[in-house]
Amino acid sequence: MIHALEIAGLPLHSNVLLAPLAGYTNYPFRKLCAELGAALTFTEMVSAKGLMYGSEETKLLLYHEGEHPRAAQIFGSDPAIMRAACESEALAGYDLIDINMGCPMPKIVKNGDGSALLENLPLAARVISACAQTSRRISVKIRIGVDGAHKNAAGIARMCEDAGACMITVHGRTRDMIYAGEPDYDQIAAAKRAVRIPVIANGGVWNRADMDKMLERTGADGVMIARAALYRPQIFCDIPGREAPSMRTVFFEQFERTLSLYGPRFAVVFMRKMAAFYCKGLRGATEYRRRLFAVTTPEALRALAAEIFQEE
């Protein structure tokens, strides 16, 4: 069920994508996942207002080195600001711009952004339409509703398509579920049946069996891998059955790239978190995590990582 995919004329070598993950999908991680097999990677969600205000931190989230294809995710609820963001120089090099309509975090929702737009579909439609009027490829990432009593994936999907979206990713959980619980396959399937544009299924895909189950039960055109990639980026090799590099190789390649781009302070803090994910399932993982978060220098982190991720 792995196959090539085309999104509004953008060819992808497969239908397995890396999700935008706030705090994690920086450039070195996106590059790593693309090299391992992700057909399309997304930036962390970027504030449209931050782009308009010229935030240096926001610009850094969009750093890339020219690879294609690539996608950026933005969030906001002001149609004019969202359109201006899509037209900005910062997003000019991206092949696809994704609108976040799924983030459940209170600090995003309280401002009317992310999944708050699920409660105001007329405004959501204006946001999507304003972005689509820029002639950029616009996709939307949604949830199936705000809670169990208000599931409406099909209606939301139709609204997105009618407003100009060329792809929809459906996270098969409601906003109040956050990231817990079984995804609702029926709701994703309803969204797929409701539209003609590609529908990507998201939620609960940790391996090839999960992907096959998701696609069989929903009819979706592909899957988007989220948290599973944080524990094992090699999932993009595992799903198609290709040989995967060792976790030692993965960690050190990512660490050196992160260090080169962001400097030692950020690299140590960020890669401590990644190492804590990567050591899941190893004997002594709890003690390794304790030691990881006591590390403060690149040299110390390299030494500890070499101990944790011994040659496989």
Catalytic residues: 103
- Contact between 191 and 221 under an 8 Å Cβ cutoff? The reply is no
- Contact between 240 and 2 under an 8 Å Cβ cutoff? The reply is yes
- Contact between 247 and 235 under an 8 Å Cβ cutoff? The reply is no
Beta strands per DSSP E along 154-269 = 167-171, 199-202, 222-225
Question: Which residue do the tokens 């952004």 mark?
Answer: 113
Q: How many CB atoms lie within 10 A of CB 144?
A: 29
What gap in Å lies between CA 49 and CA 76, rounded to an integer?
7
- Contact between 131 and 160 under an 8 Å Cβ cutoff? The reply is no
Which residues make Cβ contacts (< 8 Å) with residue 82, sequence separation at least 6?
Answer: 48, 74, 76, 99, 127, 130, 131
Q: Helices 153-163 and 185-194, interaxial angle, to 10°?
A: 30
Rounded alpha-carbon distances, angstroms, from residue 66 to 28, 72, 260, 262? 13, 13, 17, 18
φ, ψ at 206 (rounded to 5°) = -115, -10
* Ramachandran region, residue 8 (left: φ > 0; alpha: ψ -120 to 50; beta: rest): left
